[in-house]
Structure formats: C-alpha cells, structure tokens
Structure 1
Amino acid sequence: MTKKKVVNAPYYNIGQLRMDLWNKLRSASVSLSEATEGSASAKTQVKDCEVLLSNLSQIEHNFAFPGMRKYMSLQEAFNRHEYVAMAHNVADIRRALISDSFRSGEELRMDNEKGDEIETIDQPEGTKQNYFEVLLVENISESDERAMRQKLSSLRSSSEQFRYSLVVQRSFQDALITLLFNTNIQSVVIRYAPPFSWKEIDPLIRPYIQHALDLGPVQSKDEDLGPLLGQVIKQFRPEIDTYYVTDTVLADLKDSTINTFRRIFYRKEDFQEIHLSIIRGIAERYETPFFTALMEYSQKPTGVFHAMPISRGGSIFKSRWIRDFGDFYGRNLFLAETSATTGGLDSLLQPTGPLKKAQEMCRDAYGSMHTFLVTNGTSTANKIVMQAIVAPGDVVLIDRDCHKSHHYGLVLSGAFPVYLDSYPIEKYSMYGAVPRHEIIEKLHLLRKSGRLDKVKMLLLTNCTFDGMVYNVERMMEEVLAIKPDMVFLWDEAWFAFAGFTYTFKKRTAMFVAKKLEKRYQTAAYREEYDAHIKSLAEGEQPCLPDPDKVRIRAYATQSTHKTLSSFRQGSMIHIWDQDFRRKSQATFMEAYMTHTSTSPNYQMLASLDAGRRQVQFEGYELVERGIELAMSLRAKINDDPALNKYFDVLTVKDFIPSKYRQTDIAEYYTRDKGWNRMETAWAEDEFVLDPTKITLHIGRTGVDGDTFKNKFLMDKFNIQINKTSRNTVLFMTNIGTSRGSITYLINALLRISEMLDSGLHALDARELEIHNKKVWSLTNDVPPLPDFSYFHTSFQAVPGIPGGNLREAYFLTYDEENYTYIPLEDCLAEMAKNKELVASSFVIPYPPGFPVLVPGQVATEEIIKFMLALDVTEIHGYRADLGLRVFKQSVLDRQMTATSIGAIGRPGISNKKIKAGTNKNNK
C-alpha cells in the first residue's frame, strides 16, 4: 500500500500562529516606536511590521475581536507613521486576547458606520452577560454589512442574559475557515446563496484548514450551497445553531433543507426574528434542568422528616464535633442533599421531570439515540450494558487487557469470553490495541465451527489508557460484513472529550454508528454492495455488510468525570441501537435498576447536567486547547537539551507499528520539520495515538516508574498522575489544564533533571556501575509480555473452540476445598513435571493493570516468567506469602469428566476435539 504524504507546518494550530504574530507585532511595534526615524533599525522594523500586519489580515477577519475595523485602524496608524499610538493599541489588543477580557465587554468595540465605538448597551450593576459570536454568511457589500450590524445592534436589550458580536463572511470556504478558527461562534446565519469561494486562500493558513475545506462540495449548484453549508456545519460543529434566510418558496424547499436548520426565514421577517431566535437558541442550550431544579429546591424552606440527617445540614452545623466538615464544604452542598424524588426533583430510576429532560439534552449533545446517567462510575456502566445485552451461553469477543469491570461483567452475565490479544509494546511494558485481522480470524474460526450464531458482542477499549485509538468505522464495517447483527460495546472511559472536536469525533462510537446507519440505507450503498458481491471470486468472503441484514447496534460507556466536567464517578451510557426498543430496552432497564442505587448522588447528577452545558458552549474550544497544550509539552521536552537528556516523549512510531499506519505518520512533531498534520492519519490509519496522553520514557534516569511517581513527582512537587509502567510515566491534559500547569510541570522536570545531574556527579565508581545497570535494565532488559494462553479444556464452552466458561471457574472457588496455593518460584518446577496449573482467580498486576490470568486459564511458562520479572508490589488476586492460587487436580479431573459427557453426541464435537484445547487457538 502506498503511504500518503503528511503535510508539515511550523505551528500546531492557528491559535499558536495567531498569538505568535501578535507577540511579534508587539515587539516590532515597540522597537519601531523607539527607533530613530530613518535609521537602519527603523527600516528593519518597518519591514517586519509590514509583513506581520499582512499576515494578521489573513486571520483576523475570522474574529469579532479585534475585528477588521480595529485591525484597519492599526494599519492606518502604521501608514501615517503614528508608531507610538500603534504600539499602545497592539499591546492593548494582545493583552485582551491573552486574558480573554474582550469576552466580558471590557475591551470589545462594536463595528458600525462611525468606526470603532464602545458598545452603548447599559447593563444593570452586578449583572454579567454571557458573550458569544454569530457568523453571518452572505455575499454582501460593505455598506449593507454596516447597515445590518446597526440594525441588529438596535434590537439588543440590556436585560438579555446573552450578548453577541457579528462576524461576516462572504463565501462557503471562508465560513468553514471561521468555524475552524473561531471557537466563540455559537450561531450561524446563512443568507441566500453564498458563492463557494470569495478570494484565494493564503499559503500561510492553508496547512491549518485543509481538513475543513475537504468537507466542502466538489461540485454543486450555487443555489444549493446555503443548505449544503448548513449540513456541513452539522457534521463539523453540531452544537452550533444554524439559521437560513431564503427567497425560495416553501413548496420548493427540500425536506433535507428544512431538517438541517433550526429555523428558516424570509427577507421581510429576518432581522428581528433572527435576533430573537439566536437568543432563544442559546437560552435553550443554556438550560440545566436538573441542576436548576436542585438549586431551587435547596432554597425552599422545608421540614425534613425523611432519611438522611445530613440533609439541610441538620446533623452537621449543630454538631460540636464535625462543624469543620460543614465549613469546609459550605452550606449549599447540604441544602441540596435530599432523598426526595418529588417536589421539583426526580427519580433516576424512572425519570419523568428534570432528570428526564437532562438525559434528553445529553443525548442531543453527545449525538446518541439514548443517553443514561450513571452515578457510580463506568465500571458499573460496563456491567449494566453487559448484563442488558448478553445472556448465559452467549459468546463475547473481548480485548484481554480491557478494564477489569468487563471481566467481572462476564462473570455476572454468564457469557463465554473469547479473549483477543493486543499487539505488545514490550520495550515499555504495555500493550497496544487489537488488530482487525485478529478479530476477523476469530470470527471466521467461530463460523467454521458453527458457533457464529452464538456470538453476541464485540467489546473493545477506545481509546486505551495509553492513548491507542481504533478506526471505529472500518472495524465495525468489516465485522458487520461477517456478523451483521453484532452488538458493539466501545469502552470510551478516557474518550468522552473526543465528541467535541471534528478530527477525534470521527473515531467515536456514536458518530460512526449514526453515519453507518444512514449510509447503509442509501441507494448508492446498495449499488456499491451489489458491485462488490459481483467482483468476488468463488469462495471469497464479502468485506461489506449486506444492507438487507445489517443492523447498527452500538453502545458507548464514558467516564465523563475523567476528561470532562463532572464530580468523581459521574459517567454516561450512550446508545445507538436500531433494535433497542424491540430487543433491548426491557433488559437494559432491568440491568440499569439492578446496578443503580435507589439513592443516587444528586450533586453528581447536577454536575453531569452542568457539564453538558459546558461542552455544548465551549467544548470545542476547551478540547482544542487541551490538545494544543499537550502538543506544546511534547515539543518543549523534545527540544530542551536539559529535558531530553533524561526524558523521551513517546510518539506514534513508539506505540503503533508501521503496518498499522497507512499514512506513515511516525510522530506529531520533530525539531527539524515542525508539526505533522495528523488529520489524514486520523481519517485512515488503523490505529492512531491520542496526543493528550503524554507518555514519558524515564529509563535513562535509572528510576522505575513507581518510584519516579511517588518520590519525585508526588513527594517533591505534588504532581499527580494515574499510570506508570516499569520505565514510563503517563501525563494527561484535559479541558481543565492551563498553560500555567504545563509550565509548572516543565519546571518540575527541569529541577528533577538538575537533581539527577547532581546525584550522578556524586557517585563513586561502584555506585555508578550500579546506576548504569539500573539504566540498562530499564531501557533494554524488559520482560516479554505474555499473550493470553488458553482456557483449560474443562472450562471451554465447547472443547477445541474459542470461548471460556469464566463464570463456572469463578464460582468454583466459593468452595475453598477446590483450590490450593503454589509459591510463584515453584510454579516452573511444577510445569517441568508436565503439571497444568489453572488459575482460580483474577491476577492483575498494577501496573500494567489488566489480568494476566483469569479463572479457568492455564498458566504458561511465559506468564510465570513475566510475573517473576515484575518489579511491582501491587498484584490483585495474588498473595506473595501464599503463592499463585490454582485449582486442585481433582477438581480439574471432575470438570473434565463432566465436560466430556456433556460434549458427547453434540454436533460437530469429536473425541479429538474433546482432547484438544491445549493450544493458543482455543482462547
């Protein structure tokens, strides 16, 4: 396959370019204002300012602030040689951009026919209006634009909670560029039929916008461009309200056009109605039904005669001994505590009021068919979905190194797991993701053995803790070609943020499910499928799903609290299931009630409600900023000699083998080439790396990951992280990460580097030899990662065929007579005697944090050697004082007899297959 060329750029995104230009213009304008007129220095600064102003003109027309009129005033001051005034104005603009003060109205100027004037709307003292910007798309003259701005300004009221400024663009392309650059845009008004392009795109900005321009139509009539732009906006930034002004008679408006826009207006009604509609649209998204209800409830005078003495702070603020507890959290927390489900509140188990509406608003924000709030974490969300979808005896394909909640969900449901191996990244003691060919091979094997009809679910983690992200669309399509009714459970615990930036969104479950359902229902797809079937050789299997059989059934569990705003354990289940109402709704609600508390935490639910409001208004901005900060951190460590002496930021090529990278992008940033544009890779590669997961290789420090985390990061700098391996530590950026926190981390790493330097200089020859051995061990002498071995024959669902009876093995251990312990160091000796050791418990080392053994699995020599080589102290399910817990041989013999008797006479099961099961194919 030909690798695709990746475009490089000197900056990661347009935000970095924009601020760098303003910073350089400030420096150049100050120097120019201080230079002697006519001097060589002045001439140099004049040229610099000319170039910088020209470059900024390609960017600033996409923003209301500073706006083109304010920009033009700078250009005019420059042309008049008023360099001191220009320098002061540049400094004011730069300061307002950095501080975001223009959003509060402190710096914002309105563009009208008189020039730059301070907005004259009077605000009541103490009130604060939420600021946003509206994009108006129309090929309009400058005089008409000024008249329109003045008209819209006259319609505003000081009593309105929301306040906006206008950004005008005159073409389809310029509108897309503005939406990509300007995160303040919350509404778009498309008037009539804008042309596709209005002017040539400057090479300065082209690298940052190409993926947005690719959304545009290749060929289209001019009169169709308005509705097409509305459809593209819904793909690119679906949270935005879109409005359309047209002269097309109602009878000629297409249904697709009517469905695309929030409202459609005609010329005579557009100004006032558009203004009111814009404000109303923002107000509706601003609603937080449950959070608002809870706030109102907390202010009601009530008499508490139900459970919970803590309610209203009754048992707290009267106490002589725990009053400090109440002072720490504040009164509102306790005023909002209640066990009531009426009186303006609602029941999570059967919502009919504000909770129901909050879930519906979450559904719309996250792009699902149904969304359910979960108050005890994604661990519970995973068990809910598992219990709702799979029944005892169903087969589930599951990545072995997934979160432990999935393994326990299999125990509860009684499903038979077919474990899938991710590719190993042995140098860093971690796993990648499950290649498609691994899954396809398992499905073909199950079909050949007559077990495909029992396969119910494919369960994968997207993205993984370390940042590996699947090509969800390609994975689902190839699996559905074999098993058209497959249910997909995508564990997106660490990927909830991805739905709010276009590049990442395309690899999320809900986006892909919606896209595929729509695609498979079109006539164009049916033609594509028919042509594909005709092209197949005899016996060749289709690679496309049959449109008459395929059903889209996708579930995503998300830890909202991990990457978005929510109190701890706040999670969501998102569903896009064509058969939900017919096949799964009843069982889902039973599972939901099984695992959901009848006393859910109302503060957590309120935080999920408020967090939804946040991502609808500023999710795009905050997610993009979090990614930008992660990229900046990568570049700083890569470029700084004091940091790269000890630390390496692992990048794409370190995590993803070349055969899974169709675009051949190997890293996001290099010192000599700058930034690689990652959009093509995210569209096409089998696996990509989430850049917000920054894995730092620390092997050259001679300090293992656990020690580095506790002794350096935590004890010395109070820096908290989630994950380490033998020789890595993982940092993550999110929507709460600030530039200051990135600077603090860099400062800490610099100081650690200095400490390591000082420590090395103090070592004598023998100490240095010991240190070098530690470095060698952490960088070269890494233990090989074992694959999943196989279930013992007695715990295979069908002997010789993938699928293990995990539940039966698990519950056999409830009788302590069924198992024994073998010291780990004795296990290899026992194996040398041809004794099979079969695990009777989950064995989960932290790190890496996934089971190396599950109940019923045969412990191989590779697994024991891996455990012996581990230098971690926390291994769940294993007691160092007792050893590895395994089934007694008598129990295995008894199980073998029962399994053999049950298999005799079963179609397709021979005695040869009964005796099989000791090879890796029987996972």
Structure 2
Amino acid sequence: MTPVSRVLVVSDDAKWQADVLAGLGAAAVRLENPYGLTFVGVARSQDALDLIARDGDVQVVLVDKQLQEKGVSQPAAQLANRISAFRPEISLYVLLFDDDERALVEDLASHAVDGYFYRDELDFHGWFRILSAELAEKSATPFYDKLKQYVRMAKDSWHTPGHSGGDSLKGSPWVGDFHDFVGESMLRADLSVSVPMLDSLLHPTGVIEEAQMLAAKAFGAKRTYFATNGTSTSNKVIFQTLLAPGDKLLLDRNCHKSVHHGVILSGALPVYLDSSINKQFGIFGPVPKETIFAAIDANPDARVLILTSCTYDGLRYDLKPIIEAAHEQGIKVIVDEAWYGFARFHPAFRPTALESGADYVTQSTHKVLSAFSQASMIHVNDPGFDAHLFRENFNMHASTSPQYNLIASLDVARKQAVMEGYRLLDRTLKLAQELRDKINSTGAFRVLELSDLLPEEVREDGIQLDPTKLTVDITQSGFTADELQQALFERYNIQVEKSTFSTITLLLTLGTTRSKVSRLYDAMLRLAKEKRPPRPLGRMPEIPRFSRLASLPRDAFYEAGERLPLLDDDGRPNAALVGRVCCDQIVPYPPGIPVLVPGQVIDDTILAYLARLQKTQKSIEMHGLAEDGGEFLLRVLKEGELAQLPGRALFK
C-alpha cells in the first residue's frame, strides 16, 4: 500500500504558486513516487497552520521567502518557526531569490529549516527528487531493512540460538505448534551477534548506530541509545553513569522501583521526596513544586534529580522551572518518561522532558508506541555527557545476546511516530474524548478530570493531565475493582490497565480503534444497567511519610541482617521492629510506592501501616517481605551491623 505524503506550498504569489504546483504534480506522474507525494497550496501562514493541524499526511512544507503578510515582519521565517514548534517532524524548505535571503533565514530560523530551493530555478524534477530523498531519509529503518535482507538471504545457521532459525521446532509433534504460533520470520530473525552486517548493540558502528541517530533526531535528543532490557535497566545505567558511592541525589519516592534499585547499585545517598496523595481515590501525584525547590536549595551538593513525568495515572509536571532551578545548582535532571514516549509527536502533549531541558530521559517505547515489550530508549542532552563512561555502564547491564526483533521494533516504532504519529495521536485524542463522554453517560461510571485527580497541595503547580489515560471512578457502580475487572474480562473479553480500590485505568494508544471504544462502552453500559446499589468501598490506609535513613541503601542491602516477624504472637505489629533499620525494599502493589527502602529506620506508623495491609488488604501484593509458613518476615540489620557500615559517618 502506497502512503500519502502531502507537500504544502505556501505563497501569496498566485501565478508562481500555480506553476510550482503544476510542475511538481507533473514530476510526480513522470517519476517514481514510492512515498505518494501530492501537492497543495495556500496563500497565508494561518491557512498553512490550519492545514497541518487538520491533515496528518502533510510531510513537507515549502515556504516562499517572498511571502508578505500585513503587519508581520519576515513572515516566512516566522512561519517556519511556528511549524517547527507545532509539528517538529515536518520537513521544511524555503524558496529564495539569493544567498542574502538565505543568510537572513538562517539567522532567524536555522533550526527549523531542512533545506532551500532557488525561486527562479524551476527545476521541478530536481526538486521532486530532493523531496523524495528527504522522505526516504525520514522513513528509513536501517536496522529493520538489514534484518529483513539477512533473513531473505537464507543462510544456514551454524551459530546460536539453538533453535537454528526455528528448525529445531519445525515438524516436532511436541513443540511444532510454537513454530506456527510465533511464525517463520520471527524465528529466522532471532539471530546471533555473530552476524556482522547486523551491527552490535554493545558497540554500534553500522545500522544500529544509524537507527539510533534517526531516533535522536526524531525525539529531539543529541544522542539516543536503544535498550532491550526495558526502562528499568535504562534507569540503572544512567544512575551508575552519573553517581558514585556516597553521591547525593534527589528523587521522587513515587519513582518506579527500578530507580530505587539504581540507588542500591550505585551506592548513592538519596534524599527522598514524598509524593502528593489523592486520598479519596488512592492516587499518588507529583511531588509538590515547593518540596522540590526546597530540596534543591537545601542540597546544592546533589548530583542528580529524578522525576517521573507523566505518572502512571497521566499527571505530568510543569518541568521547565524545576529543571532550570536544578541546573542553577549544577544538578543533572533525569526524567522517567516511560508512559509518555509519544508526546513529541502531537502539540497537545508537549513540551516533552527533553524540550523542557532534561539532561537524560528514559522512555518505554513498548508501552505507548509500536515497539515490542522490553524495547526502550535512552535520550541524552547532557552537555557534559561522557560517552565512554556511559557505554561502559550500558554494557555492564545489557545482554551480550540482544534480541534483534526488539531492536527492529524500535526502528519501526520511530519511523511510524515520525511519519504518521501526529495523525494517529490526533485520532487517539478524539477517541479518548468520545470514550470519556460515553462512560460518563452510563450514570454508574465517571471518568475523573484533572481537578478530581489533583491532590490539594499541587493544585497551583501547573500540572497537566495526559488525556489518553482515563481513570474511571467506579464508586457508584456497585462493583468492587476486582469484581469489575473480572466481569469485563470474563463476560466481555476486555482487559484493563490497572485499578485502585475505587478506580480502574484505561490506556489509549496508537492502536486504539473506534470498534474497541464501542465494545468497551457497550460492556460498561450493560454493567451499569444492572443497577447494583452503591456499596461502601474499602480503601487503603494512607502511606506514612518517609522516616529517615540510618545508612546508605546499598550498605544495608548487602548486609546479612536478620528476619523478624511483622506481627507478634498476638497478631499485633511486632514492637521489636520499631527503631530497626530495614535491609530490603518493601513495596505494596498497588500502588507500587516503597514504604521502606534499604537503610530506612522503621517507626511505629510504618509498622502499623504494613500490619494493617496484611490483615485487611488481601489483594495487595507485598514485594520485599520474606514468607515462612504463612508468616511474613522483615529483614533488618542486626544490632552490631549498623555500627560497622562504611558509610555510617554520613548519618551521624
């Protein structure tokens, strides 16, 4: 299927524009046109902006430098900047009379312009070839193409993996169905690093490096690295690159558990920042700006600040002032953008973390774009970036046998985001609004708005909501979250993203369709019509505030410690744990926020909280507790171990 690539010509010179459109249209007929170039003209800047907002197939804009608009100085350059700010993936060319005009455009809009044509050299075939080459470069998938080429070469495999391109599975009476299920191409593309033409993820110099460079340009980074171990590993790689044992960092307590694991591995000294909490719905929001600014002022020796934006529930920071405050103190900023990797490709979601000035950004490309699970990207804009040190840390965590299909999916996901991301995201936004309206019309379910989700302490912080993440209040439906998820799954074949005691979360992506929206609405309407009486829903007790650290998390984690029961013989919180230092990360899931981290002192409020969860919230998973015969145990430092820790002096 041939794509459609609209080329927009902006000029108020009607005769000249008509000649250009006719000449380029004729070239499209005579020459090879694999990208489906078609041409359309407008006479005013606002008409151009309106068209690129309506039409996601606009891939290239040609702006006449002679464009004149009343009251506007240098309208061509201004339009170039506005297009770049609105849809940075669009290629933009300026049509000039001479090099003096080029110098002026370069001065005003060089970052927005991809190339130039001379207005009086009407070489339409030449222009057409250049525009085709521009689209070829943008839409290239160097790694994926090379992988397909290798598979088609049908080489005999005398190397790993052991299934030998699927030959070990084919025809087997026991496992042959797996070959059919996965598919011939997938198995043939599962190759060894012994294939030089496919480059090396650990030392890329060929097609992987080319693919990463294209991704960096697409996402607005100086450098981009593909990761096949997910954003969990990506966060750890950055921590080990920036932090040495004892270095201080500021981090949101609500960060993904991989961030807390990174603290352990790096040996860093964390300053934990408590998240805001929406107690009504059990949702954890961003850290208040006031808290972040106070932490930056109080810890000018911190090396790193890490935040999650947007959160699992779609809440995103006003990042720019936060990043500027951190940079004033020389603090590097890492943003975990795992749930927001698509944001660059539609103005409704911008600015991105990179656009706001972040030094490092991690993205779970697989979560919200069209990559396979575990496929992620690390974007770097740090002016002091040490590429060698980063590579050493990256290779420490990366597999020496990376899955080539994952790398190919990153290449393809980037291409799709650049070439049709705007159009698909625009559709997703419309479907999100449609689904929001339909769910609200049921009378039993209600999609929460930003004002519902924001905890009181962050209402003035400029926080925005990602509209593709719908949090649905189920309190009037008569269902518990578990009952509702089970009914949707078993009766209507629908799987939702997550739940709290009073909400479910729906995630809309590029793959959301109107048919899926219709089926979900029909299911929720049918459930609403059961008219169950509203029921009092149990809620999780509030997570206690962070107590204090008695040691570096790494030091506590690597001690042997001892395991003490969470509850005493009478089923009450074990008082012997109060004042002891935890060795493990204790995380109730949901919501997934650590109640205890290694090195943290246990107080009575924390102990009471954990005990209450164990007794009343049976559906909550408790990560980090040991279990022995149905009894839960907490690993803590032995009495003599704390005094012997090498970093103990930092906490006296």
TM-score, normalization by structure 2: 0.93
Of Structure 1 and Structure 2, the greater helix share is in 1
1:829 and 1:334 map into 2 onto residues whose CA distance is 53
Report if aligned partners of 1:242, 1:262 keep a CA contact under 8 Å in 2: yes
Q: Displacement of 1:232 after TM fit?
A: 2.3
Report if aligned partners of 2:219, 2:344 keep a CA contact under 8 Å in 1: yes
1:424 and 1:267 map into 2 onto residues whose CA distance is 59
Residue deviations 1:345-386, cap 9 Å, x none?
111101111111001111111110000000111111111111
Does 1:491 pair with 2:332? no
Q: 1:736 to 1:712 in 2, by over 3 A?
A: same
2:570 and 2:335 map into 1 onto residues whose CA distance is 40
Which one-letter code corresponds to 1:512 in the other structure? Answer: S
- For 1:152, the equivalent position in structure 2 comes to 24
- For 2:480, the equivalent position in structure 1 comes to 704
Q: How does 1:561-580 map to 2 (within 5 A)?
A: 561-580=366-385
Report if aligned partners of 1:429, 1:785 keep a CA contact under 8 Å in 2: no
Match of 2:587 among 844, 854, 866: 844
1:427 and 1:875 map into 2 onto residues whose CA distance is 22
SS at match of 1:338: coil
Does 1:785 pair with 2:534? no
Match of 1:239 among 76, 85, 89: 89
Residue deviations 1:531-554, cap 9 Å, x none?
xxxxxxxxxxxxxxxxxxxxxx61
Q: How does 1:658-677 map to 2 (within 5 A)?
A: 660-662=458-460
Report if aligned partners of 1:299, 1:335 keep a CA contact under 8 Å in 2: no
1:736 and 1:746 map into 2 onto residues whose CA distance is 17
1:822 and 1:337 map into 2 onto residues whose CA distance is 46
Does 1:601 pair with 2:403? yes
Report if aligned partners of 2:446, 2:473 keep a CA contact under 8 Å in 1: yes
2:588 and 2:63 map into 1 onto residues whose CA distance is 57
Does 1:345 pair with 2:150? no
Report if aligned partners of 1:387, 1:412 keep a CA contact under 8 Å in 2: yes
- For 2:453, the equivalent position in structure 1 comes to 655
2:102 and 2:355 map into 1 onto residues whose CA distance is 31
Which one-letter code corresponds to 2:355 in the other structure? Answer: F
Q: How does 1:310-709 map to 2 (within 5 A)?
A: 310-446=163-299, 452-453=300-301, 455-481=302-328, 483=329, 485-506=330-351, 508-513=352-357, 554-580=359-385, 584-638=386-440, 640=441, 643-644=442-443, 646-657=444-455, 660-662=458-460, 686-709=462-485
Q: Which moved more, 1:628-637 or 1:250-259?
A: 250-259
Residue deviations 1:454-513, cap 9 Å, x none?
x111011111101110111111112223x1x2111100000001111123221x221122
- For 1:875, the equivalent position in structure 2 comes to 622
Which one-letter code corresponds to 1:712 in the other structure? Answer: A
Report if aligned partners of 2:289, 2:458 keep a CA contact under 8 Å in 1: no
Q: Displacement of 1:632 after TM fit?
A: 1.5
Which one-letter code corresponds to 1:491 in the other structure? Answer: D
Q: 1:252 to 1:287 in 2, by over 3 A?
A: closer
Which one-letter code corresponds to 1:192 in the other structure? Answer: K
- For 1:809, the equivalent position in structure 2 comes to 556
Q: 1:830 to 1:290 in 2, by over 3 A?
A: closer
Does 1:193 pair with 2:66? yes
Q: Displacement of 1:708 after TM fit?
A: 2.2
Q: 1:193 to 1:861 in 2, by over 3 A?
A: farther
2:311 and 2:528 map into 1 onto residues whose CA distance is 29
Q: 1:150 to 1:445 in 2, by over 3 A?
A: closer
Q: 1:301 to 1:648 in 2, by over 3 A?
A: closer
Report if aligned partners of 1:429, 1:782 keep a CA contact under 8 Å in 2: yes
SS at match of 2:146: helix
Q: Displacement of 1:830 after TM fit?
A: 4.5
- For 1:228, the equivalent position in structure 2 comes to 78
Match of 1:740 among 492, 496, 515: 515
- For 1:253, the equivalent position in structure 2 comes to 103
Report if aligned partners of 1:293, 1:354 keep a CA contact under 8 Å in 2: yes
Q: How does 1:793-804 map to 2 (within 5 A)?
A: 793=550, 795=551
1:432 and 1:258 map into 2 onto residues whose CA distance is 39
2:89 and 2:102 map into 1 onto residues whose CA distance is 27
Report if aligned partners of 2:95, 2:119 keep a CA contact under 8 Å in 1: yes
Q: Displacement of 1:726 after TM fit?
A: 1.1
Report if aligned partners of 1:838, 1:858 keep a CA contact under 8 Å in 2: yes
1:407 and 1:851 map into 2 onto residues whose CA distance is 9
1:896 and 1:849 map into 2 onto residues whose CA distance is 31
Q: 1:626 to 1:230 in 2, by over 3 A?
A: same
Paired residue total: 642
Q: 1:248 to 1:153 in 2, by over 3 A?
A: same
Report if aligned partners of 1:842, 1:853 keep a CA contact under 8 Å in 2: yes
SS at match of 1:568: coil
SS at match of 1:227: helix
Match of 1:269 among 110, 113, 121: 121
SS at match of 2:360: strand
1:824 and 1:239 map into 2 onto residues whose CA distance is 61
Report if aligned partners of 2:285, 2:455 keep a CA contact under 8 Å in 1: no
Q: 1:823 to 1:510 in 2, by over 3 A?
A: same
Report if aligned partners of 1:824, 1:884 keep a CA contact under 8 Å in 2: no
2:578 and 2:541 map into 1 onto residues whose CA distance is 24
Q: How does 1:704-723 map to 2 (within 5 A)?
A: 704-709=480-485, 711-723=486-498
Q: Displacement of 1:432 after TM fit?
A: 0.7
Aligned-pair identity (%): 33
SS at match of 1:428: coil
TM-score, normalization by structure 1: 0.66
- For 1:887, the equivalent position in structure 2 comes to 636
Q: Displacement of 1:262 after TM fit?
A: 2.1
Which one-letter code corresponds to 1:628 in the other structure? Answer: K
1:402 and 1:272 map into 2 onto residues whose CA distance is 54
SS at match of 1:189: strand
1:290 and 1:834 map into 2 onto residues whose CA distance is 54
Report if aligned partners of 1:412, 1:807 keep a CA contact under 8 Å in 2: yes
Q: Displacement of 1:859 after TM fit?
A: 2.9
- For 2:134, the equivalent position in structure 1 comes to 281
| Structure 1 residues not aligned, in runs of 5+ | 1-127, 198-218, 447-451, 514-552, 663-684, 761-771, 796-804, 907-912, 915-923
Q: 1:252 to 1:444 in 2, by over 3 A?
A: closer
| Structure 2 residues not aligned, in runs of 5+ | none
Q: 1:828 to 1:439 in 2, by over 3 A?
A: farther
Which one-letter code corresponds to 1:650 in the other structure? Answer: L
SS at match of 1:234: helix
Which one-letter code corresponds to 2:52 in the other structure? Answer: L
Match of 1:750 among 512, 525, 529: 525
Which one-letter code corresponds to 2:43 in the other structure? Answer: R
Q: Displacement of 1:899 after TM fit?
A: 8.1
Residue deviations 1:188-212, cap 9 Å, x none?
0111332336xxxxxxxxxxxxxxx
Which one-letter code corresponds to 2:567 in the other structure? Answer: P
